[in-house]
C-alpha cells in the first residue's frame, strides 16, 4: 500500500492526536517555550516516543483480542476482589479524569473564541458543549472520526504556519530536541509536557476505536502506520507551539499564561493574522478534546462494566452526556481555566502508571494475543515508559498533597 493510500486510511490514531492536543497541551507548551526556550524540547520528543509505545500496545490489544481495554481488564483476573478493584478503578479514575479534562477542554476552546470575538467564556463554553453533544449524539463513529480528523488538520495548519513565520533557529531547535538538559526549575515543565501528551484515557479510546476500522490482525501494519503518523503529527503541533513561544517571548521577560494570552500578544509582534491563526488553533484544540474526553470515558466505562460498545446505546450515551454536562457546568462556574487544566493534569499523572501497568500486563497475555504478544523490545520500551509514568504519578501526588501546581 503506497503512502497516499495509507493516508486515506488514517482514522483512530487521529482521535488520539485530537485528544492530547488540548488546551492543557497548548498552555503547557506556551509557558514552557516562553520560560525555557528550546531547552526542553527533548521532553516532548520522549513524550511522543512514550505515547507511540503505549498506544501501539493498546491498538494491538483492541484488534487482536477484539476487546475494549476495560473489557480486557475485567476478564484478566479470576480473583473477584482484584477484578472488581480494577473495574472500580477504571470507571472512577478514567471517568473522573475525563470529566476533569472536559471542563478544561471547553474553557480552553472558549478562550480561543473570546480572543477573537470578545464574547465571554461563560457564554461560549455551553455553545462548545452543544457542538460536542451534537457530534457525539449522532451515534456515528464515522462522523466523529471525520470531524476530528478535520480539526487535527485545522490545528496543524494554524500552529505550524505560525511557527514557520517566526523563523526559529533550527540549530537550537535540533539541539533542544536531542540534547537533554534540565535548567533550574525546568523539571516540572518537562514532566508537564510528558503528562499532557501521554494521556491514560487515550489507551481506552484507542483500543475501542481501532475496532471500528480494523478487525483482523492482518490489518496491524496499517493500524501501526495510522498510530505512528498521527501521534508524530500531534507532536509536531506541540513542537510548533513551543517554537512559536520560544522564538517570540524567550528572554523578553514576557510569559503568556495560556494560549489565549499568547494569541493576544502575537498580534502586535507578527500582525493581526497571527492572533487569528493561534486562536483558531486553540479553539480546535478545545473542541477536539471536548469530543474525545466523553468518548474515551464512555468506552472505558462500557468495557469495564460489560456493556455493548454502541455509540447509540442508552448506557453509552448516558455516560457521554454526564461527562459532557460536568464539563459544561464547570466551564460556566467562573473557575480559572489554567487552574482547572492543571488539576486535570494531576489526575492524569496519578492514573497513568496504573493504566500503563495494566496495559503492559495484558499485552503479555498469550491467551488473549497469541503470536501478537509483546516481544522483548516492546517490554523493555514499555518498562522505561512505566518508570517515567511512576515518576510523573509521584510528582502529581506531591502536587495534590502540597497544593503546588505547575
| Structural domain for 173, as ranges | 3-80+114-130+141-288+337-402
Residue 47 has pLDDT above 90, yes or no: yes
Across 70-90, average pLDDT: 81
Across 26-43, average pLDDT: 91
Cα–Cα distance measured from residue 391 to residue 20, given in angstroms and rounded to the nearest whole number: 20
C-alpha cell at 97: 479524569
pTM, two decimals, is 0.89
Higher pLDDT, 253 or 268: 253
The answer to whether residue 57 sits within a structural domain is: yes
SS3 assignment for 173-216: HHHHHHCCCCCCCCHHHHHHHHHHHCCHHHHHHHHHHHHHHCCC
pLDDT of residue 347: 66
Counting residues of the chain whose pLDDT is more than 70, the rounded percentage is 93
User: Of 38-52, 292-306, 325-339, where does mean pLDDT reach its minimum?
Assistant: 325-339
Counting residues of the chain whose pLDDT is more than 90, the rounded percentage is 35
User: Of 11-15, 224-228, 354-358, 396-400, where does mean pLDDT reach its minimum?
Assistant: 396-400
pLDDT of residue 334: 63
- The H or E element containing residue 70 is helix 69-76
CA neighbor of 59 nearest in space, from 77, 76, 72 = 72
- Per the structure, the count of domains in the chain is 1
Instruction: Find the radius of gyration of the CA atoms of the chain.
Output: 20
Across 112-132, average pLDDT: 85
pLDDT of residue 119: 84
Residue 241 has pLDDT above 80, yes or no: yes
Higher pLDDT, 226 or 95: 226
The answer to whether residue 190 sits within a structural domain is: yes
pLDDT confidence tier of residue 243, bands split at 50, 70 and 90: very high
User: Of 174-178, 247-251, 401-405, where does mean pLDDT reach its minimum?
Assistant: 401-405
User: Of 32-46, 137-151, 339-353, 382-396, where does mean pLDDT reach its minimum?
Assistant: 339-353
The answer to whether residue 324 sits within a structural domain is: no
Residue 359 has pLDDT above 50, yes or no: yes
Residue range 144-160, pLDDT digits in tens:
999 999 999 999 998 89
Cα–Cα distance measured from residue 45 to residue 67, given in angstroms and rounded to the nearest whole number: 30
pLDDT confidence tier of residue 41, bands split at 50, 70 and 90: very high
Across 384-398, average pLDDT: 80
The answer to whether residue 100 sits within a structural domain is: no
C-alpha cell at 401: 498533597
User: Of 163-172, 218-227, 392-401, where does mean pLDDT reach its minimum?
Assistant: 392-401
Higher pLDDT, 309 or 235: 235
pLDDT confidence tier of residue 406, bands split at 50, 70 and 90: very low
Cα–Cα distance measured from residue 181 to residue 34, given in angstroms and rounded to the nearest whole number: 16
The answer to whether residue 31 sits within a structural domain is: yes
Residue 92 has pLDDT above 80, yes or no: no
The answer to whether residue 310 sits within a structural domain is: no
Give the three-class secondary structure for 307: coil
Cα–Cα distance measured from residue 29 to residue 222, given in angstroms and rounded to the nearest whole number: 30
Higher pLDDT, 90 or 246: 246
For the chain, the first-to-last Cα distance in angstroms comes to: 45
Residue 246 has pLDDT above 80, yes or no: yes
The answer to whether residue 30 sits within a structural domain is: yes
Top-confidence range, 179-193, 199-213, 387-401: 199-213
Residue 285 has pLDDT above 70, yes or no: yes
Mean residue pLDDT across the chain: 85
pLDDT confidence tier of residue 228, bands split at 50, 70 and 90: very high
The answer to whether residue 328 sits within a structural domain is: no
Across 278-305, average pLDDT: 89
pLDDT confidence tier of residue 405, bands split at 50, 70 and 90: very low
Cα-Cα-Cα-Cα dihedral sign, residues 368, 374, 376, 381:
negative
Amino acid at each position: 500500500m503506497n503512502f497516499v493510500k495509507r493516508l486515506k486510511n488514517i482514522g483512530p490514531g487521529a482521535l488520539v492526536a485530537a485528544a492530547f492536543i488540548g488546551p492543557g497541551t497548548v498552555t503547557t507548551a506556551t509557558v514552557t517555550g516562553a520560560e525555557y526556550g528550546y531547552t526542553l524540547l527533548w521532553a516532548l520528543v520522549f513524550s511522543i516516543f512514550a505515547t507511540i509505545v503505549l498506544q501501539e500496545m493498546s491498538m494491538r490489544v483492541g484488534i487482536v483480542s477484539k476487546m475494549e481495554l476495560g473489557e480486557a481488564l475485567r476478564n484478566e483476573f479470576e480473583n473477584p476482589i482484584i477484578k472488581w478493584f480494577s473495574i472500580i478503578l477504571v470507571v472512577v479514575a478514567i471517568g473522573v479524569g475525563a470529566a476533569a479534562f472536559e471542563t478544561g477542554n471547553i474553557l480552553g476552546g472558549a478562550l480561543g473564541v473570546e480572543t477573537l470575538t470578545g464574547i465571554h467564556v461563560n457564554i461560549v463554553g455551553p455553545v462548545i458543549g452543544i457542538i460536542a453533544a451534537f457530534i457525539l449524539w449522532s451515534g456515528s463513529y464515522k462522523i466523529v472520526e471525520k470531524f476530528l480528523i478535520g480539526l487535527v488538520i485545522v490545528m496543524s495548519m494554524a500552529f505550524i504556519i505560525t511557527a514557520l513565520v517566526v523563523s526559529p533557529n533550527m540549530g537550537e531547535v535540533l539541539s533542544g530536541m536531542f540534547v537533554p538538559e534540565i535548567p533550574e526549575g525546568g523539571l516540572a515543565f518537562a514532566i508537564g509536557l510528558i503528562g499532557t501528551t501521554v494521556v491514560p484515557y487515550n489507551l481506552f479510546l484507542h483500543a475501542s476505536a481501532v475496532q471500528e476500522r480494523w478487525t483482523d490482525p492482518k490489518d496491524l501494519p496499517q493500524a501501526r502506520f495510522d498510530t505512528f503518523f498521527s501521534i508524530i503529527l500531534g507532536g509536531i503541533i506541540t513542537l510548533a507551539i513551543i517554537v512559536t513561544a520560544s522564538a517570540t517571548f524567550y528572554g523578553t521577560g514576557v510569559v503568556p499564561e495560556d494560549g489565549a494570552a499568547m494569541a493576544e500578544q502575537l498580534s502586535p509582534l507578527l500582525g493581526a493574522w497571527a492572533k487569528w491563526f493561534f486562536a483558531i488553533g486553540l479553539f480546535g484544540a478545545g473542541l477536539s478534546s471536548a469530543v474525545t474526553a466523553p468518548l474515551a470515558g464512555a468506552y472505558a466505562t462500557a468495557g469495564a462494566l460489560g456493556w455493548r460498545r454502541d455509540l447509540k446505546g442508552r448506557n453509552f450515551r448516558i455516560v457521554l452526556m454526564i461527562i459532557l454536562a460536568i464539563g459544561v457546568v464547570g466551564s460556566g462556574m467562573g473557575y480559572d481555566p489554567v487552574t482547572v487544566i492543571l488539576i486535570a493534569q494531576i489526575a492524569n499523572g496519578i492514573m497513568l502508571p496504573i493504566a500503563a501497568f495494566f496495559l503492559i500486563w495484558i499485552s503479555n497475555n498469550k491467551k488473549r494475543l497469541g503470536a501478537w504478544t509483546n516481544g522483548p523490545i516492546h517490554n523493555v520500551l514499555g518498562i522505561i515508559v512505566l518508570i517515567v509514568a511512576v515518576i510523573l504519578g509521584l510528582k502529581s501526588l506531591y502536587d495534590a498533597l502540597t497544593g503546588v501546581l505547575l
